[in-house]
């Protein structure tokens, strides 16, 4: 794992090594690339989460696209715009097409998902999850390929809360605005981790749930953010538990009449605008969870299970922090613009 202050390449180099090692097993001479696509004939439905063009989901999607190119399955991509109800509806629709495997974002939680996953597993469909774990489903079906690729959300949230305390010099009685998704059954554990870490240090937390419109389109949150900041003049720091919303922090703070550094700010995910926000002094840090692997690993998981009977692999992609101290090294990797296919 990465150290907090020396974050090598946010998983991109390790991902390249992984791809290289997986896509060239036992090849000792020049052979047709198709010979490495040992997962051909397997049909997969993959759910990247957001919508095409959104920073975080695009990186997840690119990981899945690379895995598909390396391994050879047929993959259908189903976008949800981060709508938990659509995730459930899309899963039902996908099960009806009877693919070999389905990779889901676990945001709706086990209560909503598990009965549907039970039915899918009975029908012989391999199910695995990314980004947000489904612990009950994983426990029930790990032996038949239900894995997880993503951060351990509650502890990831705690680490962000503690990083804010350390980096921003927060102390007892200071006021922090946390804008999160605590209301989502599984996904909300990360927000709860942030809040618990701050409250354990006796910091005052002003919490606001991200509404559906802002969850889907961050520009919808501008009037909410500016209004909240106007009504809470003593806020010293802002933490956003949403990668795309963190990426929008420079615009949000500017809209609220702030200058870089007036309000300390941090959040999640190394998206290009977030990296630029760190470079420009608007954002103090972001926590990286190597979302590219959250795309690659579920495709690999389904292929391994379908072809070779592998059980579920639980891969914690949670990493370290990108700050002004290491952003110069990270920026070229994050700001590269891979083709969205």
Pair (217, 307) in one structural domain:
no
Q: Supply the pLDDT for residue 35.
A: 64
Domain end, chosen from 287, 306, 321, is at 287
| Band of pLDDT at residue 340, cut at 50, 70 and 90 | very low
Please compute the mean of the pLDDT values over residues 310-321 and round it to a whole number: 92
| Band of pLDDT at residue 140, cut at 50, 70 and 90 | very high
Contact between residue 213 and residue 185 where contact means Cβ atoms under 8 Å apart:
no
C-alpha span between 236 and 268 (Å, rounded):
18
C-alpha span between 143 and 124 (Å, rounded):
13
| Band of pLDDT at residue 124, cut at 50, 70 and 90 | very high
Pair (140, 18) in one structural domain:
yes
Pair (236, 282) in one structural domain:
yes
Domain end, chosen from 287, 302, 324, is at 287
Residue 20 reports pLDDT greater than 50: no
The CATH number given to whatever domain includes residue 147 is 3.40.50.2300
For 282, the domain range is: 155-287
Pair (111, 179) in one structural domain:
no
Please compute the mean of the pLDDT values over residues 287-301 and round it to a whole number: 94
The answer to the question of residue 341 being in a domain is: no
Pair (128, 190) in one structural domain:
no
Pair (183, 74) in one structural domain:
no
The answer to the question of residue 74 being in a domain is: yes
Pair (218, 283) in one structural domain:
yes
Pair (274, 312) in one structural domain:
no
Q: Give the position of tokens 């606001």.
A: 208
Please compute the mean of the pLDDT values over residues 172-200 and round it to a whole number: 95
Pair (245, 279) in one structural domain:
yes
| Band of pLDDT at residue 69, cut at 50, 70 and 90 | very high
Number of domain units in the chain: 2
Pair (169, 260) in one structural domain:
yes
- Give 340's DSSP letter: P
Give the list of residues 6+ apart from residue 254 with CB closer than 8 angstroms, or none.
none
The answer to the question of residue 44 being in a domain is: yes
C-alpha span between 264 and 238 (Å, rounded):
6
DSSP state letters, 141-173:
HGGGT--EEE--HHHHHHHHHHHHHHHHT--TT
> By three-state DSSP, how is residue 35 classified?
helix
Pair (173, 211) in one structural domain:
yes
Please compute the mean of the pLDDT values over residues 212-218 and round it to a whole number: 90
């Amino acid at each position: 794992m990465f150290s907090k202050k020396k974050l090598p390449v946010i998983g991109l180099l390790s991902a390249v090594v992984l791809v290289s090692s997986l896509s060239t097993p036992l090849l000792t001479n020049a052979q047709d690339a198709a010979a490495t696509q040992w997962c051909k004939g397997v049909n997969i439905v993959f759910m990247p989460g957001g919508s095409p063009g959104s920073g975080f989901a695009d990186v997840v999607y690119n990981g899945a696209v690379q895995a598909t190119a390396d391994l050879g399955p047929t993959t259908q991509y189903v976008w949800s715009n981060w709508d938990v109800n659509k995730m459930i509806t899309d899963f039902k629709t996908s099960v009806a097409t009877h693919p070999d495997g389905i990779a889901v974002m676990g945001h709706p939680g086990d209560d909503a998902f598990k009965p549907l996953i039970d039915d899918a597993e009975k029908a012989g469909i391999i199910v695995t999850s990314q980004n947000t774990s489904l612990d009950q489903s994983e426990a029930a079906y790990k032996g038949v390929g239900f894995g997880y690729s993503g951060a351990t959300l509650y502890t990831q949230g705690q680490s962000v809360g503690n990083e804010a305390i350390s980096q921003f010099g927060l102390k007892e009685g200071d006021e922090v605005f946390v804008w999160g998704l605590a209301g989502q059954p599984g996904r909300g554990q990360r927000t709860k981790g942030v809040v618990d870490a701050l409250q354990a240090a006796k910091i005052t937390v002003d919490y606001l749930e991200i509404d559906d419109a802002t969850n889907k389109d961050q520009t919808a949150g501008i009037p909410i953010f500016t209004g909240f900041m106007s009504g809470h003049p003593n806020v010293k720091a802002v933490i956003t538990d949403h990668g795309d919303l963190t990426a929008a922090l420079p615009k949000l703070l500017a809209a609220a009449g702030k200058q870089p550094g007036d309000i300390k700010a941090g959040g999640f995910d190394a998206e290009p605008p977030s990296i630029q926000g760190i470079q420009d002094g608007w954002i103090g840090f972001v926590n990286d969870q190597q979302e590219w692997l959250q795309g690659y690993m579920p495709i690999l998981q389904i292929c391994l299970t379908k072809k070779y009977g592998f059980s579920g692999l639980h891969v914690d992609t949670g990493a370290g922090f990108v700050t002004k101290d290491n952003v110069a090294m990270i920026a070229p990797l994050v700001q590269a613009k891979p083709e969205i296919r």
